[in-house]
Amino acid sequence: MESNGNIAIDGPAGAGKSTIARLLAERLNYLYIDTGAMYRALAWKALRKGLDLTDESGLSRLAEDTEIMLRVDPEGKNLVYCDHVDVTEDIRLPEVSRNVSLVAKVPGVRRRMVELQRRMASSGRVVMDGRDIGTHVLPDAPYKFFLTASLDERARRRFMELKQQGHAVTLDEVKEEIRMRDHTDAKREVAPLVQAPEAMLIDTTGLSPEEVIRMILARCHGGGKH
């Protein structure tokens, strides 16, 4: 691979992005950057402080004053820190999932996050997943993928995940939350969820992570968009 070997993975909630991105990073010895976790960490802090989530300038100021760090522990687990507090578990709470899109649509918040994300990707050896990575954060990434799956499948995956973590939610609630979130993410004015024209579209419905990884690696070894 060339010096900029960054891999951008975008797609709606529950399409399998984080599972795939994590495995891929491990396989390639790349750094995995979960940009959704960064927006979640900020949403978590805003909720904890009781901020008004429609107050765009308040949220932008909060983003400027917040230190978000991603690191991998010795067992290979991805940890998320917000102002040096480990928020890895808390940012997956349903309350954060329900509200994160409101925080993520604020232009000032996005500006700050994108700046941090570009800095993290400067090594040229990252797998970054999110909504606007191929279109906006890393437009020059040589390898771009857009993962999707049917709404039913995405809701089922999220539901299983949440159930395993002990959250009391119903499949219908999860489906509704994902539907609403996709709507807000795709309709927002700044860097909405959209497939980059040169990204390879992969429908992961019915595919195993290994099958998806194989498709991605085949494309990367074939030279990406070049």
The site for ligand DC (CB under 6 A) is made up of 13, 35-36, 39-40, 100-101, 104, 130-133, 181, 185
Calculated CA dihedral for residues 63, 175, 198, 211, nearest 10 degrees: 120
| Smallest distance from ligand DC to CB 12, Å | 9
Provide the residue type at 102 as one letter.
L
CA atoms within 13 A on the CB side of 77: 8
Q: How far apart are CB 32 and ligand DC at their closest, in Å?
A: 13
Least distance to ligand DC from the beta carbon of 131, Å? 4
Distance of CA 84 to the CA centre of its chain: 20
If the CB atoms of residues 118 and 214 are measured against ligand DC, the closer one turns out to be 118
Q: Which residue number, 39 or 143, has a Cβ lying nearer to ligand DC?
A: 39
In whole angstroms, how close is the CB of 149 to ligand DC at the nearest point? 13
Nearest distance in Å: CB 223, ligand DC: 25
Q: How far apart are CA 51 and CA 82, in angstroms?
A: 16
Pairing verdict, β 85-86 and 78-82: antiparallel
CB of 226 to ligand DC, least distance (A): 24
DSSP string, 53-96: TT-HHHHHHHHHT--EEEEE-TTS-EEEEETTEE-TTGGGSHHH
**C-alpha span between 22 and 7 (Å, rounded):** 12
Q: Give the whole-angstrom CA distance, residue 76 versus residue 53.
A: 34
d(CA 57, CA 67): 18
